[in-house]
Structure 1
Amino acid sequence: MRPKPAAGGTRGPWPKKRQLFGEHRRNLMSIHSMLSAAALACFLLMAGCTSVNEAGKTAPAKAEKAEKAEKPAKKGIFSFRVKTDKPAVSYKIGEPVVFTVELCEDGEPAEAGKLISWERRGDDGVVEKGEAKSGAPVKVVTKGTKPGFIRLSVKAADADGSALKNGSRAVTVTSGAAVEPGRLPVAPEPKDFDAFWERQKERVRAVPMKELERVPVDCRAKGVVCYDVKVSAPGGKPMSGYLCMPENAKPKSLPVTVVYFGYGVYPIGKNDGMAKDRIVLSVNAHGFLNGQPKEYYSELSKGELKGYAFDRKENEDPETTYFNGMMLRLIRSLEYAKSLPEWDGKNLTVQGHSQGGMQAGIAAGLDGDVTEAVLNQPWMCDIGGAAMGHLRGTWHIRPTEALKYYDTIYHMRRYDGKVKLMAGLGDYVCPPSGMAVIYEEAKGPKEIVYTQSAGHNGNPSGEKFTLTAEAAE
């Protein structure tokens, strides 16, 4: 299915037409200074203003020496501004891709004298490099030779060649562009993919679902109740998380959103602010205790959960990888959410960022009752892509055939509900190529938002490029 071009604005959260546009967001700074009475009088005189004397006659306003308003001192915060000559995800093979790169200081073009170096890499395997000096925008012109993404990495240095820094952090940016991203190839999935996951569901069903704990806990949102919950699951650890909903919710009255979290060992949030009009189940990935002192999580991160999911031996078998237990608890979390009497029986959303986006994507593929999936820079997409030349960063799990059972792409191609994707054009923890494939293969109403110069932690001020399409017929 090829998305249709947009005709006008969006209609509701799931437009029926495709859009491609850039949104410009700028941070505005306001400077407030107080004028003394003398300075104000001088200003009035210069402007030709008059004042009225005691006799009612007009007389020229008396000029007093004005104090010079001092310009605010520079903070010396450097950053890069990167733009493309057209929407960054709209290029064709062989078409010139023009990046304009500008080094800024405190949001304004930096003075001449700084050194700028750039490197272009891409899913097409092409590598190009160049250098320039600050003082004027730098043009980087390239082109893509096959479908995929172009990554532009830029850094700055002082005149002596030492890295330019904001405090201890080097001034860098990673930006990007896409060349016919809808045509990216994907490695084949395991032949027994569906059979494997049916066996995992059977393992979950073999453990009767039982709510082990529901303990009331404090929450900030007014009119919301929140509980620390634990539910039985296979593998020796419970499904653990927070359950929040409006007070006095009636049976079959509320949609449910299940929230999953990013990589790491830390106390999860309750997300009670989301629960004013819905049930929210926030699930920790590990089945550990919620709301504990930081020492509890620190000890786990140094011990049992140190470097979890990266063990090469565990990752040789799809049932011994750390992800297996995580996904068994995920399956149980969906069963539990649907068992709640307050659920309306119709609306089930899954969402998450990074590892949480991976979990949400797998949940959508495994449970046919999911109606909406919100995946923010999901992890573990396109596991076999590196062997096909697709770019990735330095922080990644070594691919194995066993890990392909956990590829977010393969799960999402089995899902036909609404999907919303967020991708960073500078994110190579979770490269945008994986999200592009999910978008292309999605069967339901879909939207993907690419953000320029956004790494894995995002970039709120980055230019946005949005694609939308209606459901496949």
Structure 2
Amino acid sequence: MKLFSCLLLFGLATISLKAQNTPAPVKLVEIILTANHSDWNYKLNEEASVKISVLRYGSPVENVEIEYQYGPEQLAPEKKGILKLENGIGKINMSTMDIPGFRQLKVQTKIDGYTYKNEIKAAYAPFEIKPTVSLPEDFDVFWEKAIAENNAIPMDAVVTPKPELSTATVAVYLVRLQNYKSGQYFYGYLSKPKDNKKHPVLFNPPGAGVKKIVPITSFADQGFISFTTEIHGVSPEISETDFQKMHKELSSYPTIDLEDKNNYYYKSVYLGCVRAIDFLTSLPEFDRKNVVVTGGSQGGALTIVTAGIDKRVNYIASFYPALSDNTGYLHNRAGGWPSMFRDKNQNNIVEKTKTMEYYDVVNFAKKITVPGFYSTGYNDNTCSPTSVLGAFNSIKATKEIVITPISGHWRFGETNDKAMQWLQEKCGME
């Protein structure tokens, strides 16, 4: 009995400690950066200035020193310095640009042994940014041939009901599809409303990384038959040992066979997106009218790619697409994730850049003919806004974009809601 009491007390103490150690929702010290233009947008040759406020408990910290640096986005800073804030408030002029692009200001301070940081980017004529990547003359022929070859490979779909993952309103299935080569597969979770009605279909490609996917039922709750996939052939039911082995082998997958356009890693990935549409449009519950694609980061890139090469797609919503204008760094400006050409002296760079022309999101963006919803944030250091705007500006189809300047590599719930409402309205859903 005494042992039980001790164990109980230990358990309660552990729970109490965990509760006490919950991370704070806000920082003890905040650095507030306020641009002199509320939308962070500037005309060419217009100087941007930023007000800096260092607050503790919501009040200015007196006599604090700020380290700062600024220059073109993601590149070496043009200037570094230290600014002393007498009353916790100061201002930095971060100069200007005479060509479209972004300037980045980074600041930090140390208080009581802790370092606090923040940053802000000023946009100069962002909707005039032009991509640096070239479009190969045989781009269309290359992808038409690749899709035709892939069509000759049976889809060999295996659809397994997953009642343990389903909800009262959504039926979930694990799907395996053959793609690219005989015996090569990728996986996805299909989510269908349990109402026996016809619905628009929605393809949801994944963000970057090697990971086990989980079912997403929210799209089905909003009236779509959705298919959320992975791209590496990683079954969500794989053993942890095998998963870790694959994770290690594929850690650098964006650069695998980058010197060879016919065997580059993303070739199977892009063809897998078309295969996902093959599968969705084969479902008996498909309304035969509306095919939607949406995703963010790598998923945002694959959204644009799918619409660019598969004319069955009707509407897309792409958030901060990766793999956009990858050659930016070779032209002294920020490129897209995964920054593969930041090192200008790497081996076989000519062959690699030639291959990337067939895979850069910018060149698929040029092929889009359907309405699209797009979104990005200026403070994104993963998928640089320079690269994202380069892709967006290449789109000639009907488009709209929501920019939340303060966003990093994430988006607000309000933006998600707006995108979903836009897609539902386009599909004629109530």
Q: TM-score, normalised by structure 2?
A: 0.80
Does residue 426 (structure 1) correspond to residue 376 (structure 2)? The answer is no
Q: CA deviation at 1:315?
A: 0.4
Does residue 383 (structure 1) correspond to residue 326 (structure 2)? The answer is yes
Which of 189, 211, 221 lines up with 1:266 in the alignment?
211
Match of 1:79 in 2: 30
Corresponding letter in the other structure for 2:168: K
Q: Deviations over 1:412-448 (max 9, x none)?
A: 1111222222212122221101221233232333222
Match of 1:178 in 2: 123
Change (3 A) 1:283 1:126: same
Change (3 A) 1:394 1:220: closer
More displaced stretch, 121-130 vs 172-181: 121-130
Corresponding letter in the other structure for 1:335: D
Q: Deviations over 1:64-122 (max 9, x none)?
A: xxxxxxxxx9986223222222243531111121222222335x244124321221112
Q: CA deviation at 1:157?
A: 2.1
Distance 2:280 2:336 in 1: 35
More displaced stretch, 392-401 vs 333-342: 392-401
Distance 2:305 2:213 in 1: 20
Q: CA deviation at 1:459?
A: 7.1
Preserved contact between residue 260 and residue 351 of structure 1 (Cα < 8 Å)? yes
SS of residue in 2 equivalent to 1:129: strand
Q: CA deviation at 1:220?
A: 5.3
After TM superposition, the structure 1 = structure 2 runs for residues 447-462 of structure 1, keeping only pairs within 5 Å, are 447-457=400-410
Corresponding letter in the other structure for 2:139: F
Q: CA deviation at 1:241?
A: 0.3
Change (3 A) 1:177 1:332: same
Match of 1:409 in 2: 362
Does residue 208 (structure 1) correspond to residue 161 (structure 2)? The answer is no
SS of residue in 2 equivalent to 1:410: helix
Match of 2:251 in 1: 306
Q: Deviations over 1:126-173 (max 9, x none)?
A: 8233322344333222222211111112222248xx6x33xxxxx222
Does residue 116 (structure 1) correspond to residue 66 (structure 2)? The answer is yes
Bigger helix share: 2
SS of residue in 2 equivalent to 1:139: strand
More displaced stretch, 122-131 vs 174-183: 122-131
SS of residue in 2 equivalent to 1:143: coil
Match of 1:25 in 2: none
Does residue 196 (structure 1) correspond to residue 142 (structure 2)? The answer is yes
Preserved contact between residue 171 and residue 191 of structure 2 (Cα < 8 Å)? yes
Q: CA deviation at 1:224?
A: 0.8
Q: Deviations over 1:153-197 (max 9, x none)?
A: 2222248xx6x33xxxxx222321211112222222222211111
Which of 168, 175, 179 lines up with 1:229 in the alignment?
175
Match of 2:186 in 1: 239
SS of residue in 1 equivalent to 2:255: coil
Which of 279, 290, 303 lines up with 1:336 in the alignment?
279
Does residue 289 (structure 1) correspond to residue 240 (structure 2)? The answer is no
Distance 2:251 2:60 in 1: 43
Change (3 A) 1:208 1:292: closer
Match of 2:389 in 1: 436
Change (3 A) 1:231 1:182: same
Q: CA deviation at 1:242?
A: 0.5
Corresponding letter in the other structure for 1:249: N
Distance 2:151 2:200 in 1: 24
Match of 1:17 in 2: none
Q: CA deviation at 1:460?
A: 7.5
Distance 2:231 2:334 in 1: 27
SS of residue in 2 equivalent to 1:298: helix
Preserved contact between residue 220 and residue 273 of structure 1 (Cα < 8 Å)? no
Distance 2:241 2:105 in 1: 40
Distance 2:25 2:148 in 1: 63
Does residue 345 (structure 1) correspond to residue 309 (structure 2)? The answer is no
SS of residue in 2 equivalent to 1:378: coil
SS of residue in 2 equivalent to 1:406: coil
Change (3 A) 1:407 1:394: closer
Corresponding letter in the other structure for 2:62: A
**Equivalent pairs: percent with the same residue?**
24
Distance 2:327 2:169 in 1: 47
Structure 1: any 5+ residue segments left out of the alignment? 1-72, 166-170, 469-473
Corresponding letter in the other structure for 1:139: K
Change (3 A) 1:358 1:79: same
Structure 2: any 5+ residue segments left out of the alignment? 1-23, 342-351, 423-430
Preserved contact between residue 334 and residue 387 of structure 2 (Cα < 8 Å)? no
Change (3 A) 1:334 1:440: same
Does residue 355 (structure 1) correspond to residue 295 (structure 2)? The answer is no
Corresponding letter in the other structure for 1:254: H
Change (3 A) 1:444 1:459: same
Q: CA deviation at 1:391?
A: 2.0
Change (3 A) 1:446 1:394: closer
Does residue 318 (structure 1) correspond to residue 270 (structure 2)? The answer is no
Figure out how many residues of one structure are paired with residues of the other and give that number: 378
Match of 1:91 in 2: 42
What is the CA RMSD across the aligned residues, in angstroms?
2.9
Q: TM-score, normalised by structure 1?
A: 0.73
